[in-house]
């Protein structure tokens, strides 16, 4: 049922092997005899050898330090809240398990 169905070998299309040499229609046309001016290619812009280093002012250092501190505090708060959520969920599941166990044990003792 899930096996692939292949066509019979005699109905499969045969590959074209005559494309070894391109046909005359696909050959590049000869250069035209119009009076074109050749396109000038401009040289690439020179790469500056001495690039200036990044200058950090005291104000930008304070901003960078404050930004880094803010990122660390936000990521830490998110991670602590996720850990707290997992801990609260674990404790509540444990309490539910203890209550269910005590209910089932008291039900079995009454018989």
pLDDT band at 6 (very low <50, low <70, confident <90, very high): confident
CA-based end-to-end distance of the chain = 57
Q: What is the pLDDT of residues 24-56, one digit of tens each?
A: 555 555 566 677 666 666 666 666 667 677 788
pTM of the prediction? 0.42
Q: What is the pLDDT of residues 80-108, one digit of tens each?
A: 999 999 999 999 999 999 999 999 998 87
Contacts made by residues 58-67, CB under 8 angstroms, sequence distance 24+: none
Confidence check: pLDDT of 61 > 60: yes
């Amino acid at each position: 049922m899930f096996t692939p169905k292949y066509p019979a070998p005699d109905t499969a299309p045969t590959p074209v092997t005559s494309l070894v040499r391109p046909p005359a229609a696909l050959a590049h046309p000869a250069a035209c005899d119009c009076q074109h001016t050749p396109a000038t290619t401009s040289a690439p812009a020179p790469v500056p050898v001495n690039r200036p280093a990044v200058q950090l002012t005291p104000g930008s250092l304070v901003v960078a330090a404050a930004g880094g501190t803010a990122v660390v505090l936000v990521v830490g708060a998110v991670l602590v809240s996720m850990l707290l959520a997992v801990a609260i969920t674990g404790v509540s599941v444990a309490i539910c398990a203890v209550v269910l166990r005590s209910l089932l044990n008291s039900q079995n003792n009454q018989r």
